[in-house]
Every structure is written in C-alpha cells, then in structure tokens.
Amino acid sequence: MTRRASFSRAGLVAVMVGAAPAHAMESFGNRFADMSLEQLSDVVVTSVSRQEERLSDTAASIFIISGGDIRRSGAQSLPEALRLAPNLQVAQVDARNWAVTARGFNTPFENKLLVMIDGRSIYTPLFSGVFWDAQDVVMEDIERIEVISGPGATIWGANAVNGVINVITRSSADTQGGQFAAAGGGQDKNASLRYGGTLAGGGTYRVYGKYHQLDNTLTATGIDTNTGMHRTQAGFRADWKLRDSELTVSGDAYQGKLGQLAALPVQTSGANLLGRLTRKLSPDANLRLQLILDHTERNQPGAFVERLSTLDLEAQHDVRLGERNLLTWGGGFRQSWDRVTNSPGLGFLPGDLNLRWSNLFVQNEYAVSPALKVTAGAKVEHNIYTGAEYLPSLRLAWTPGADQLVWGSVARTVRAPSRFDRDLHSPSAPMNAGGRAVYLIGGGPDFQSEVARVVELGYRAQPAATLSWSATAYYSRYDRLRTLEPQASPTAPALLQFQNLREGTTRGIEMWGQWQATPAWRINAGLVLQNVHTSLLPGSQDTSASSGLTTNDPKRHWLLRTSHDLTDDSALDLTLRYVGALPDPAVPSYYELDGQWTWSPRPNLDVALVGRNLLHRSHPEFGDNPGRSMFRRSVLLKLTLRF
C-alpha cells in the first residue's frame, strides 16, 4: 500500500480530530494509521467529563490539537501549538510572555482559563493565571491537546471559567527507543534528547532532557526589550499495565534565566512528581487516584521572590447504574505553602501564607433515550478567601442522526480570589499620607469571587466521509468583575483598592471544520466572532485601565490551514491566521502566514524548514506603544533523528 493511499484513510481522522493520532505519526516517512469510519467514531476525549467519551458524542465546544498537527506545524513551544486551536485567542507579548484566553478577557495576566499538563494544574495562586515562560514539554511527546472553550468548573473547579486546556503526553510505551531533535534560526534555538525502554514487570519508561533559548525582541523603534530567555528541563515517565489497573509515574525538573526590561534577569526553577492509578473495580465501575507534588521558585528582581510548594490529591469513582445512568463522583484536596520575599516597591502581605482548596463533585449522565442524554452535575469547592463556592451545570445532547449532534448547556462558574486580589500591596511597607500610614495600592480585604453564568448551544455534523464541522453559540454574563477603586475614607488603609464593581457580557459564535479535499490534501478552517462588553457599577471610579489589567480582545479572529503530502517523503503545511484590531491599548489587525516544509530522506530522519510571520517584515500582537515588541519574519531549520 502506498503512503498516498494510506493518507486517504488517515484523512478520515482529520474529519474529527484534524490529524492522525500521535503514535501513528512518529515520522513523516511512516504510514498514517489505517483507520476506518467505525474506528474514527471511537476517538475519545477525557477533559470534558473526566472520563473517556467519544468526541462525536461530547456536549461541549472542544477542539483537539493532535500531536501530528503540532509536529507538522513547526510549533516549538506550548503557546505556539495553542495557535492551532481556532477557539483560542493567542497573542505573543514579547520574547517569552504570552496572552492566551478563550472567549475574551485577555491580558498577560489572564485568570479565567484553567491549563493542565497531564491533569496537573499549572496555574499560579499569585494571580490565578499561567507563567508561560516556566512551562515546557518535548513537543514530539505530546499525544494531543484538548481545548475546551466554555465553563468547566463543575468538573475542574474554580478558575475554569472561560475554558480548559489539557496537554496530554504520550504513554512511554509509545516512545520507545531514542530521539534527538534540534532546531535553530531566527530568534529561537532548542534541542531535546529522549530515550525510552522497558522495565521489569512489564512496564515502560522514557527519560528526556531539553534546552531552549529565545533571543530578545525589538520595539518598532529598534530598542532591545531584553525579554529573551534560556531554560533547561529534564524529566521521566513510567507506565505499567497491570491486571486490572494502570499506573503512571512522571516527573520534571527545570531551571531558567529570563530577561526583563530595565531589571536583572528573572531566575526560575521547579520540580514536580505525579502518580496516577486507574483501577477497574468491575465491568461497570472504575476508580482513579492521583497524587501531585509540585515546587516552584521565581526570583523576579524588583518585584518578589516566591517559593511555592503544593500537594494535590484527587479521587474519582465512575459507576454505571443500570442501562441509563452513569454516575461520576469524587473529591480533592490541594494545599500550597506560599513563601514570598517582598521588594520595597511590591509586596504580598502576609508574605508567608498557607492556601487550601477542597472540593466534592458529582455528575450523572442519564440516557432518556438512545438519542437523548441529560448530564447534571454540581461541585462545591472551598477556598480560604470566600469559603464554599457552588458550581452547577446541566447539559443536553441529542443525536438526531448517526452523523449529527445537537447540544446545549447552562452553568454557573466562578473565578476565586488570588493573592493578587487580596494580598497585593504597593509599596510593601506603608507610607505616610496626612499623618496616617497608608499604601498606594492595597489588596481588597472584601474582594469576592467573580461570577459567570453561561448558556451554550452547539451543533456538530459529519455530512460526508471527508467533511465535518462544528458550531457553537454562547452567551455569558459576568458579575463582580475586578476594579481598582480610589478610597476617599480617611481611615482607608490604601489610596487604591481592588473591589468588585464591574459587570459584563460576552456573546459569540465559534465555528470550525475539516475537509479532505484529496487523498493527499486536507484543509482546516476556524472562525470566532465575539463581543466582549463590560460596564462599571454606579459609584465606581475604576483606575485599572492605566495598570494594564483590563481586557483587550478582538471582535473576530480566524485561521485557515492546509496540509499537503507533496510526495511519499515530503509534506508542506501552511497556516494563514487573522486577528482583528485590539481596542485598548490599540493594536492594529493583522494577517500572518506560518509554514513548514518537511522532508524525510530516511525513515528515521526528518528535515524541516519552518517559516514564521512570512507575510510581513514585523508586526505587533499585544501591548502599548512605544515599548511593545515587534515580531519579525524568521526561518528555522529543524532536524529530528530517531534511533
């Protein structure tokens, strides 16, 4: 069977997930998976309900970035890979910082999106967001990235307000042998070495090491932003398939030096350890236990030094009750020991704080008929700032035909206070104003959780073997959004204080589809139309616009991708993306083209030429003039050798 004929069958995979499964795309010289339509319908996802379910039956706005898509795109980092999801808004801020969100409210300190790597949350309790410069994986080891736009709090808890991203890496059984990959050119240089083998007792393992260097970006006037970085990371993963159980143990350790404008470099380091046991208790019941230990350190001169240690425990039980009910319930406990050394200009008070989160959740899927399912769930999550938060949801899924799904959902979710909201003070020691001790900015002692109520309606169809599409309309109402308010009271401890005096709404449509145009050519397209509107409550004098904390979102963004196998040993992938203008600070709209040409002269060797921002000499994506970064046209050469 020729590779082109094999692609014809593998192209059916693109109808649902955009590309072949990662284990089937170890190299461009290998055949794609020979997958029938029946097998295709069994493609499963896990991040919507924390259990395996067919993508075609999933009542959520979910897009799958496959490992094959990532390798064919030339993405060298997680944020670059996330650009492939049409339901995400991804903007590069400078060499190492990114603004990533779903459904609006984007800033470099975005706080309404839950991001996980293999189920391990990577958010920081400092501001409920992600330090993207501290996150890395070997890109070739990613099996898929599940991107859910919309609320996921009933399953994942507070902060899963506008979406959930779960980066899922491949089992060590699928990464046996050795691999060396290196890329360089433009402002990006990286290399990784990975080796996998077998263990006694039927287990498998892999170990890896990685180095990544990014050069500084420049402003429009040619000023060096000094935001480059270099970081090293190493880790392992081991998997065992036992009689009735599966066990995974993995860990990573990293350190980095990150540049910042007009200050000494940021020093980062950290390590994590994950253990997960899944046991089949009976044909109708499963138990899942997970333990995570995580430690991070961040020394940011001129701001703070943080040492954060976290213990995270989770348990989940799935049981089928008769033919109609599938019950999922469980709970978790998370404890963080946060130790912050403050600088004179900025402080988190108290510097040392123990943070605790605990939760219980239950969800039941009820089959009203073979074509109609109702899923109701609720979670109670407790935090040290606001106590118990209640996170209910209700979903309906109707399959009028074997190739169609109509679904809807309603949910309530919250963004719980972070240390930024409650404990931030500037300066870190009170100053004298009118004979009294005050701070310029003080955390809001009464700051409450931000609340969102969300309604969604979606449709998914596969009208032909080579064509599929998905569309979701949504409406969200937000209450108690964060503002920074002047304090006129003579007894107020701060001149400015965080409060909850803003409200807002978002509404929009998300659409994407895939078309297998020929056996060797597929096309993916996606479009988001959105309107993000916020307004101040009576009495508010919000000053956060001058602090860079307000949202900045385009009204539309879209992408068009083409993947073409030119010959049996070469392929060309192009991605055209458009982002509408940002209002405040103003950033003009732009089109850009990224691409990768891949040649496999031998079955174990790939040579790739990666082009970024090919349409323009440079363009901005986020931030205010005159200091924002410009991102230039660049070309990288990448070699991947398997042995």
**CB count in 10 Å sphere of residue 472:** 24
Query: Smallest Cα–Cα separation from 252: which of 279, 266, 232, 267?
Result: 232
Model confidence band, residue 261 (pLDDT cutoffs 50, 70, 90): confident
Token code pair at residue 250 = 């993995």
- pLDDT above 50: residue 173: yes
Model confidence band, residue 492 (pLDDT cutoffs 50, 70, 90): confident
pTM for the model stands at 0.93
Cα separation, 543 vs 545, in Å, equals 6
- pLDDT above 90: residue 136: yes
Beta bridge pairs of residue 537: none
Residue 29: predicted pLDDT: 35
In this prediction, residues 210-236 reach a mean pLDDT of: 96
In this prediction, residues 113-132 reach a mean pLDDT of: 94
Residue 553: predicted pLDDT: 95
Condensed to tens digits (0 to 9), the pLDDT of residues 262-317 reads 889 999 999 999 999 999 999 999 999 999 999 999 999 989 999 999 999 999 99
Residue 38: predicted pLDDT: 36
Model confidence band, residue 405 (pLDDT cutoffs 50, 70, 90): very high
- pLDDT above 60: residue 19: no
Model confidence band, residue 254 (pLDDT cutoffs 50, 70, 90): very high
Mean pLDDT of the chain: 90
Condensed to tens digits (0 to 9), the pLDDT of residues 192-220 reads 999 999 998 889 999 999 999 999 999 99
Q: What are phi and psi of 56, to 5 degrees?
A: -65, -15
- pLDDT above 50: residue 182: yes
Beta bridge pairs of residue 208: 194, 235
Condensed to tens digits (0 to 9), the pLDDT of residues 315-347 reads 999 999 999 999 999 999 999 999 999 999 999
Cα separation, 336 vs 42, in Å, equals 39
Spatial contact of 588 and 573, defined as CB atoms under 8 Å apart:
no
DSSP state of 436: E
Please report, as a single letter, which amino acid is at residue 264.
L
| Residues 6+ positions from 206 with CB-CB distance below 8 Å | 141, 172, 175, 176, 194, 195, 196, 197, 236, 237
In this prediction, residues 598-607 reach a mean pLDDT of: 96
Angle at the Cα of 384 from the Cα atoms of 383 and 386, rounded to 5 degrees: 70
Residue 337: predicted pLDDT: 98
- pLDDT above 90: residue 11: no
In this prediction, residues 551-565 reach a mean pLDDT of: 95
Residue 548: predicted pLDDT: 61
Percent of the chain topping pLDDT 70: 93
Dihedral over alpha carbons 611, 613, 614, 617 (to 10 degrees): -130
CA 472 to chain centre: 19
Spatial contact of 315 and 331, defined as CB atoms under 8 Å apart:
yes
